A and B are shown apart, each in its own frame.
Chain A
Amino acid sequence: MLRLVSFALFLVVWWTAALLVGGAKLPSPPAVLDVMIAEAASGALFLHLGATLARVALAFVLAMSLGSAIGYLMGRVKLADRLGDPWLILLLNLPALVVIVLAYIWAGLTEAAAIAAIAINKLPTAVVTLREGTRALDRSLDEMASVFAMPRWRAFRHVVLPQLAPYVAASARSGLSLVWKIVLVAELLGRPNGVGFEIGVAFQLFDTPRLLAYSLTFAAVVLVIETALVQPFEAHASRWRPRAA
């Protein structure tokens, strides 16, 4: 209910501003909706959205799985931590644009280069978060597992993973928002389709309604995925915690 009110308020502010500024700079909501419907009818909207989502999914899964594994290793093994740390700091501080441009130069304007560049941007934060989580593991529960001779996999699944789940969820959430932002830049710079590409085209033509139509649809999809997938996962991961009042 509150969300609806908040959304309605947003529309009201937008509409008023559009009336004040004029349609060329800020089109009104119906104007943008018209473009959305037209693009959806022609199928272009879904094509570009689909391309972007596929890139997000691939890069996200790649970065999360690789980053989690590396982070866990660095949290458990001192040597790995020592070896990996300088690389981690380098990657953390490398601007996304540099990674994307270098990837396109070295690997060509290919799909693989785009996905790798997006994944590399997300990777270090996943590593850092999971390393933190691994360092915070409860040693006394490890001891319990070892006294009761739990097999490695069972101990990992029932003793270690539940402790890491909140960290995985946090890293997924922050990582996803990072990937949402970077994917558009990667598409703008070197892909012939996707929401980022369309926004680039709209920018060149100063076609604001088209720009807004794609941006807002994209934002709506992000919102749905966050509330329908990420938040329930977080809630599930921490369901055993006593509820806060």
Chain B
Amino acid sequence: MRLEVGITGKTFKSAAGETHEVLAPIRFALQSGEVGVLIGPSGCGKSTMLRIILGLDRDYQGHVARPPEARVGMVFQEPRLLPWRSVEQNVRLAAPDVSDAKLAELFRILELEAHRSHFPGELSLGLARRVALARAFAVEPDILVLDEPLASLDDALAGRLRDEIATLVASRPVTTLLVTHSLDDAVRLGDRLFFLSPRPARILAEVPIGIPREARGDAAIAAIKAGLARRAPDEQGGERAGRDVS
């Protein structure tokens, strides 16, 4: 499913009545099955852009073309689980057609088997994030939107989940938009990276990654990262904190 984003501007009115420009003109398109990665400093407007793309915020200038029949899976920046439903019910409510086998597999991969019947209030933030991932995967989305899905997970688990996202994206065409602060995640998962400016966000640089995802070894990834750092250190918005620093 092709996703076409042509936002020409987005402003917020503060309680005091002033207007804040959050998004400058932003234009890009993702082909079916392509993984786009948005990288930008905190507060630059990434989540705002995702909300517009998903149709949750209609108060903006420009247009977004998203096939209306596309099934959408979303991992919000906060888990947004229903506190009064168990983990399993949370997933099933969003994905009523999911098979038992598929659900069991997802829970196994995300190490949630022991938590099926727990309520979200009984989960750590990391666990809740994994439930949110399970929910997004369970709907077998055509369009997958991930807002910093791997934050607050330990390196090992984050690495495994990243591989899971890669597997999912490889298994069938899922047009994916990923927001991350980790250059490592971006380079391992993305087909195209969009580096955003501080607020109001605009695209500073669009970097396609030529090597197919399956063929990217550790050496290739290190080389791409080094190349990015050489090209323009400030393109990453100065926000390079995250696991990739280590």
Contact = CB atoms under 8 A, between A and B. Distances in A.
A76 B134 CA distance: 31
Contacts of A159: 82
A242 B122 CA distance: 8
B83 A240 contact: yes
B72 A147 contact: yes
B74 interface: yes
Contacts of B73: 148
Interface stretch (A60-68, A137-145, A172-180): A137-145
Given A162-B84, A241-B121, A147 B93 contact: no
Interface in B188-233: none
B142 to A, nearest CB: 12
A107 interface: no
Interface in B23-55: 51, 54-55
Range class of the B interface residue count: 20 to 34
Interface string B165-208: 00000000000000000000000000000000000000000000
A31 interface: no
A136 to B, nearest CB: 14
A25 interface: no
B243 interface: no
A27 to B, nearest CB: 50
A166 B196 CA distance: 44
B76 interface: yes
Contact of A148 (B51, B94, B121, B122): B94
Contacts of B76: 140, 143-144
A154 B93 contact: yes
A150 interface: yes
A110 interface: no
B132 to A, nearest CB: 9
Given A149-B72, A150-B94, A241-B121, A141 B82 contact: yes
Nearest to A147: B74
A148 B82 contact: no
Given A240-B119, A242-B121, A158 B85 contact: yes
Contacts, number: 49
Contacts of A162: 82, 84-85
Contacts of B83: 240-241
Count chain B CB atoms within 10 A of each CB in A162, A240, A242 and give the residue with the most.
A240
A146 interface: yes
B63 to A, nearest CB: 19
A143 B56 contact: yes
A148 B56 contact: no
Contacts of A158: 82, 85, 89, 93
B139 interface: yes
Contacts of A240: 83-85, 119, 121
B91 to A, nearest CB: 10
Contacts of B95: 148
Sorted nearest first, the 7 A-B pairs with minimum C-beta distance are A240-B84, A162-B84, A148-B94, A144-B80, A147-B74, A242-B121, A143-B56
20 contacts: A140-B78, A141-B80, A141-B82, A144-B80, A147-B54, A147-B56, A147-B72, A148-B94, A148-B135, A148-B139, A149-B71, A150-B93, A150-B94, A158-B85, A158-B93, A162-B82, A162-B85, A240-B83, A241-B121, A242-B121
Given A144-B80, A158-B93, 4 more contacts: A140-B76, A141-B80, A148-B139, A240-B84
Interface of A: 140-141, 143-144, 146-150, 154, 158-159, 162, 240-242
